[in-house]
Amino acid sequence: MTTAKARPAAATVPALTAADEQHMLALYRHLHARPELSMQEHATAETIEAELRTLGLETFRCGGTGVVGLLRNGDGPVVAFRADTDGLPIAEDTGVDYASTATGTLPDGTEVPVMHGCGHDTHVTSLLAAARLLDGARERWAGTVVLIFQPGEETAAGARAMVDDGLWDRAPRPEAVLGQHVMPLATGTVGICRDVAMATADALRVVVHGRQSHGSQPQDAIDPIVAAAHMVTRLQTIVSREVHPADRAVVTVGTFHAGLKENIIPDRAEFTLNIRTLEPRVREQVLSAVDRIIRAEASAAGAGEPEIERLYDFPPNHNDAAATPRVIQALEGALGEEQLQILAPMMGSEDFGHLGAAIGVPSVFWFFGGFGSGTDMPVNHSPHFAPVPEPTLATGTRAAAAAMLAWVGVAGS
């Protein structure tokens, strides 16, 4: 048994000072007002580096706009904690006085509004505040904390980019990788899943090829819109008629594009798919059914061979059976047992799992609330998503610090 595993979550979490709270709130408002698109988080990375430099920490860039900070405190266990940094192409409509008016440019050159519509600004702020707490209470712990500020979570690019850029060659190998996410839960509370935490996600682009003609001469056309419409309808039967009712899956057609004019039958139609599953066997079943249906409907329409392109995939997120109880104990100790709830697996997805899986170490991921109980809570990716700053930030900070201390904390401190 290692030294780290012999230490229970006994170290107490330091309290935030009034100055800490003011600094944390100012930092959060700064980040919220200045979001950046995935893999373009240049100013965000500079802000993070400046915060880490005030603590005198060693830092390095990784994966482009990713930042890693090393909080060393003598010999002892190593634990890693990840916060994601990117915003979303959404026009903010929250009404807060620090709302984003930022814009960004997508890879295809389209200029879009940008907001922190998934709360990554709370993740960054909470981890930086937790690092500040641990730095100011070094007598309570020993070892090394690897602070990972990861870009590109929304596009599933960032975790892989950091690993491919030598993250675990340049940072000490941790005994566990930890992370958290703000959600539409009551602020002050945390939720955690046992075993499966979040779904695997697969994104596909489908191009249906037809034959173009005048809208008055359908006999001379092979209509890709009709063929694609049949595909979209038939795809919705996978979950309702092929997946076992005890299993969980989601098949969503998120975009559909075809044609330029109402009296022209076009030569192609294009749509994109998003697929969520919790189990590998269900994933393979759904993906196989998607391929079968698309090709069969194309054949039925007399259309050409369809193109099915994989856009990206998010890895599964499993909470380690041995590490999760340690995190639960730490969260209950820091926030109170009544503030923690055990959740069913989320159908949302994260690329967080890739960080630990790349080196075969346990991962644990949980959620903290960002909205007043009893309120109409906006969901993540909504233009109205604006977590209340307090006690949301304090909860995220204490949860992060407590979980890290579960590995590096000195018992009895």
pLDDT(19) > 50? yes
* Model confidence pLDDT, tens digit, residues 304-346: 999 999 999 999 899 999 999 999 999 999 999 999 999 999 9
* pLDDT one-digit tens code per residue, 216-226: 999 999 999 99
DSSP characters over 142-198: -EEEEEEEE--TTTT-HHHHHHHTTHHHHSPPPS-EEEEEEEEEETT-EEEESEEEE
Residue of 7, 365, 354, 8 lying closest to 197 (CA atoms)? 365
Domains 18-198+316-408 and 200-313 share a fold: no
Q: Give, in order, the Cα–Cα distances in Å from 18 to each of 11, 22, 187.
A: 22, 6, 20
- Tens of pLDDT, residues 139-152: 999 999 999 999 99
Supply the pLDDT for residue 3: 40
How confident is the model over 153-186, as pLDDT tens digits? 999 999 999 999 999 999 999 999 999 999 999 9
In the predicted model, is pLDDT for residue 54 greater than 70?
Answer: yes
Position 373 scores a pLDDT of 76
* Region 18-198+316-408: CATH code: 3.40.630.10
Q: Return the structure tokens found at 115.
A: 């907001």
Residues whose CB is less than 8 angstroms from the CB of residue 412 and which lie 6 or more positions away in sequence, other chains included:
10, 11
Residues in CB range of 138: below 8 A, 6 or more apart: 73
Under 8 Å CB-to-CB from 161, ≥6 apart: which residues?
39, 63, 64, 66, 151, 152
C-alpha 48/C-alpha 69 separation (Å) is 9
Is this model's pTM higher than 0.75 or not? yes
Report percent pLDDT > 70 for the chain.
97
Q: How much is the pLDDT for 287?
A: 98
The mean predicted confidence, pLDDT, of the chain is 95
Taking the C-alpha atoms of residue 282 and residue 213, their distance in angstroms, rounded to an integer, is 41
pLDDT-derived band at 2 (thresholds 50, 70, 90) equals very low
Give the residue-averaged pLDDT of 71-94: 98
Q: What number does CATH give the domain 200-313?
A: 3.30.70.360
Q: Are 233 and 323 in contact (CB under 8 A)?
A: no
Classified as helix, coil or strand, 269 is strand
Residue 20 has pLDDT above 60, yes or no: yes
| 19 compared with 6, residue with greater pLDDT | 19
| Mean pLDDT in residue range 234-249 | 97
3-state secondary structure at position 211: strand
For residue 10, pLDDT beyond 70: no
Mean per-residue pLDDT, 246-257: 97
User: Which residues, including other chains, have CB under 8 Å from residue 381's CB and lie 6 or more apart?
Assistant: 88, 90, 117, 118
Higher pLDDT: 15 or 394? It is 394
Spans of all domains in the chain: 18-198+316-408, 200-313
